[in-house]
Amino acid sequence: MRILVIEDEKKIASFIKRGLREVGYSVDVAYDGEEGHFLATTSDYDLIVLDLMLPKIDGVTLCKKLRNEKVITPILMLTVKDSIKDKVTGLDAGANDYLTKPFAFEEFLARVRALLRRIESKQVSKLKIDDLEIDLLNHKVIRGSKEIELTAKEFALLEFLMRNEGVIVTRTMLSEHVWDINFDTYTNIIDVYINYLRNKIDKGFEKKLLHTIRGRGYIIKA
């Protein structure tokens, strides 16, 4: 899952980004409404975390603008304003949820998961290729009768590959959808994680599912 955080307070933005990345989400950050609008309309995100008080374009105006432009990505609005009127204004602007600052990060994550589950509930909750199955709601991976333990980043990588079954996935595609906008494409971290994943889902099994297409990328197929 890829999340856009639009927050002008850099300490808060850094805190949110770090926390989300630790549990496996790919995160981009914008520090004002104009930059947030550009990213939200030029890239695909599963969730937008939007601060209410922003320079250049405020959160309510940006939220309305995105909805008018048919951006349907769920929006979690953050603000220090906690009156009922402010909450109603944010929700009427098109936000899906509203959280006041300061907040406990556990509650923030719970709200993020709840919004993302709404997306997943409208899509498939499980992906299956041959005898490999991934449960998107419970974050479980099983091959045959064996449950496979994956890190958050390995799970995100496998999910993206399985959603693109039979398609050659390039390093650029992986860097954009599994990592984030600032990912250094010259590092070998993608190859490292592919090897980690291959050792976990293919090692010990007769049929290999994850393949490297030299010079092009990776593909998962039965």
Within 10 Å of residue 167's Cβ, how many Cβ atoms? 14
Q: Which domain holds residue 105?
A: 2-121
Q: Are residues 66 and 108 in the same domain?
A: yes
- Say what the pLDDT of residue 118 is: 74
In sequence order, what DSSP letters do the residues of 7-65 get, joined into one string? -S-HHHHHHHHHHHHHTT-EEEEESSHHHHHHHHHHS--SEEEEESS-SSS-HHHHHHH
Query: Across-strand partners of 84?
Result: none
Question: What is the sign of the dihedral through the CA atoms of 49, 54, 56 and 57?
Answer: positive
Q: Are residues 146 and 114 in the same domain?
A: no
Q: Are residues 108 and 207 in the same domain?
A: no
Count how many domains the chain has: 2
Give, for all 222 residues of the chain, the pLDDT tens digit: 789 999 999 999 999 999 998 888 889 999 999 999 999 998 888 899 999 999 999 999 999 999 999 998 999 999 887 778 888 888 899 999 999 988 999 999 999 988 887 766 555 678 899 999 999 878 899 999 899 999 988 998 999 899 888 889 888 888 877 876 666 766 888 899 999 999 999 998 999 999 999 888 999 998
Q: Which of 68, 102, 121 is the last residue of a domain?
A: 121
Q: Are residues 83 and 134 in the same domain?
A: no
Q: Which of 121, 148, 168 is the last residue of a domain?
A: 121
Q: Are residues 108 and 135 in the same domain?
A: no
Distance between CA atoms of residues 196 and 210, nearest Å:
11
CATH code assigned at 47: 3.40.50.2300
Query: Across-strand partners of 212?
Result: 218
Within 10 Å of residue 141's Cβ, how many Cβ atoms? 23
